[in-house]
Chains A and B, each alone.
Chain A
């Protein structure tokens, strides 16, 4: 199975900060990576797929980059509604796997 390691596990930025979350895969996954945002008590929401394609309706302050084994999610200017937990997910092969999550908290 492909392991995904996210870092950091927790972030405590301020509104307006630039935030970067890293996801490292245990083997190459080409560009087959997605990012999700989850708020407490809610289902995850797709933000980005295939490394850098923004899902419809997602604000442009979110962006993704990387390939192979190292990927990043960047929030260019953190907004109050962005405080949440973020997960990466690989879809290079089954079983699909998720990173452990990064909590962005006040």
Chain B
């Protein structure tokens, strides 16, 4: 069965970086995009970007363009999302999600809470 297993919660200080991992299993890793979506406490869903596992190309939402980097390791079927220059507003649960045949999100990781506080 399809599974996306994310790394554990992180606590960071403002200005630091965080790197969240997402290990995929149960399907052909290279065939489907991986998306990252975040959700601030009590708020809605915000799309951050995608990575195409087969070639590693990425598309980022403009508001994260300067601070986010998405990478993948095909040998371990793991995708990474690194967010730099953290500020308190980045406190959120970060989700990875597998794209379907188009860009709906059919399977989600369990989420990783990133807390940014001085």
Contact = CB atoms under 8 A, between A and B. Distances in A.
A87 B106 CA distance: 14
B8 interface: no
Among B45, B47, B50, the most chain A Cβ lie within 10 Å of the Cβ of B45
Interface string A39-56: 000011110011000010
Interface string A73-97: 0000000000000010101001111
26 contacts: A32-B102, A36-B45, A43-B108, A43-B109, A43-B111, A44-B95, A44-B108, A45-B108, A46-B104, A46-B105, A46-B106, A49-B102, A49-B104, A49-B106, A50-B104, A87-B44, A87-B45, A91-B103, A94-B61, A95-B47, A95-B62, A96-B35, A96-B47, A97-B47, A98-B44, A101-B45
B61 to A, nearest CB: 4
A66 interface: no
A36 B59 CA distance: 23
Contacts, number: 55
A91 B62 contact: no
Interface of A: 32, 34, 36, 43-46, 49-50, 55, 87, 89, 91, 94-101
Contacts of B45: 36, 44, 87, 89, 98, 101
Given A49-B100, A95-B62, A96-B35, A55 B106 contact: yes
Interface residues of B, number: 22
A43 B108 CA distance: 6
Contacts of B100: 46, 49
B27 to A, nearest CB: 14
Interface of B: 35, 44-47, 50, 59, 61-62, 95, 97, 100, 102-111
Contacts of A94: 50, 59, 61, 103
B104 A98 contact: no
A28 B62 CA distance: 21
Contacts of A97: 47
